[in-house]
Structure 1
Amino acid sequence: MPIAPSDPTAARRLWDISPPVDADAPVFPGDTPYQQRWVVTIGPGCPVNVSAVTTTPHVGAHADAPLHYAPDGAPIGAVDLTPYLGPCRVVHAIGCRPLVTWAHVAHALPDDAPWPPRLLVRTYARMPRDAFDDALPGMDPALLERLADHGVCLVGTDSASVDPADSKTLEAHQVLRRRGLRVLENLCLDDVPEGDYELIALPLKWMRADASPVRAVLRALA
């Protein structure tokens, strides 16, 4: 009898980069926090537990849709999934405020080597999980332009936004819109070393939503 080949991915380590989502998960001030109630519970005449959840689609690790920052933008259920799956590079820029700039990531993106198609930036030593960070680190629009020029299709951050929390112009988000970049926010990169990985962070097929939670993971390349 022929022996089935072993799964080449079986021994590849996974990093779960999704923070916990529950009633304590911080959300942008004024947004809808996570709430859950039980519709039915297991008991006489009922064989299952069923809950109802109310929350913002921007809770926890999530993917923004173009609809989030453009009135005519695509909802998250209509975007191409390709950017959310594939090779990526994690770069540490811990402590950078108020913006992640080219100077913070240049060490990981040498001009004499190909750039990765996806870039995840760690800005916190420990990601805030109990309260919203009003002084969150955003991303320099000029950096996003440069990444797009080099073929990057997705950027990710452990911050709650690529723009400062008090921004009204959302300059970084507008670069995402104009250059066709996809974005992941609220990733938990606390324990992830700098380096190259496979990213798996697929959004839900919510056909009218401005964002979607993702269960984001990184997988070792070998």
Structure 2
Amino acid sequence: MNKWMDVSQPLNNNIPVWPGDTPFSYKINWSKEESGSVNVGQITMSAHTGTHIDAPFHFDNEGKRVIELDINLYIGPAKVIHLTDRESICVEDLRGHQLSNVTRLLIYTGAWKNRSVFPETIPPIEPEAASYLAEQGVKLLGLDLPSVDKLDSKELPAHHELTRHGLHILEGLVLDEIDPGNYELAALPLPLSEADGSPVRAVLRKIEE
């Protein structure tokens, strides 16, 4: 049986975050010496650090929170495709791939080359791609990027169009070593009752053709 492969960004104090967002911090808040028995750590972080999902509440005050999302979206068969050297990802890019009945689509762009720093530019998803993906049956879109929109966008057209067409968003994947093909995906969010997003431990396992 094929082994699970981790496609998550390691969470450590050097991980880059959105400019102006909460830096990631882990520290021992209660040491074994102090407690007499255990080390107890404290984590401070943004819900959108590293590999994470967006809940619609992230960009819509009336949108669903993390706890309201269907966990079945984040575990099951997925397809990985490569779309490199793009300024944006449009319908024509997607037409070149067999996506019929693909529920979870993961796209490797290779655009985030240095993971130690936040990227200056990324290839965004063109908003009209949302309806095309929905027609194919896609319900979860994952990328190796920190956003589906331009990094300086305030309107977030791709976020809104994807959600309007029933697609959920998984960002910050590490797909550098993952070949195109069919996989099993597990990228479950935490059961956060009020949150607009959640870090995930995303893993893939190759499905034998």
RMSD of aligned residue pairs (Cα, Å): 1.5
**1:78 aligned partner, one-letter code:** E
Show the counterpart of 1:8.
none
Tell me which residue corresponds to 1:200. 186
Aligned mate of 1:105, from 65, 82, 94: 94
1:42 aligns with 2:27: no
Distance 1:67 1:14, change over 3 A: same
Between Structure 1 and Structure 2, whose CA radius of gyration is higher? 1
Alignment partners' CA distance in 2, 1:20 and 1:167: 27
Q: Is the 8 A contact 2:11 2:24 kept in 1?
A: yes
Q: Are residues 95 and 38 of structure 1, via their aligned partners in 2, closer, same or farther at CA, if it must alter by over 3 Å?
A: same
Match of residue 80, structure 1, among 70, 94, 115: 70
**Aligned-pair CA distance for 1:179:** 1.5
**Deviation digits for residues 26-68 of structure 1 (CA, Å, limit 9, x no counterpart):** 1111111101222111126521111111110111110100100
* Partners of 1:12 and 1:106 in 2: CA distance: 29
Q: Report the TM-score when normalising by structure 2.
A: 0.94
Identify which of 59, 74, 93 aligns with 1:69.
Answer: 59
Structure 2 match to 1:137: 123
- Identity of counterpart residues, as a percentage? 38
Deviations 1:87-131 (A, max 9, x none): 11101011211x111232322226xxx331111000116643111
The runs of 5 or more residues in structure 2 that have no matched partner are: none
**Ranges of 4+ aligned residues in structure 1 off by more than 6 Å:** none
- Structure 1: runs of 5 or more not aligned: 1-10
TM-score (norm 1): 0.89
Q: How many residues align?
A: 208
Partner of 1:187: 173
Q: What is the rounded CA distance, in whole Å, between the counterparts of 1:36 and 1:107 in structure 2?
A: 43
Which amino acid in 2 is paired with 1:100?
A: I
Corresponding residue SS for 1:43? helix
For 1:153 and 1:81, how far apart are their aligned partners in 2? 12
Q: 1:146 aligns with which of 129, 132, 135?
A: 132
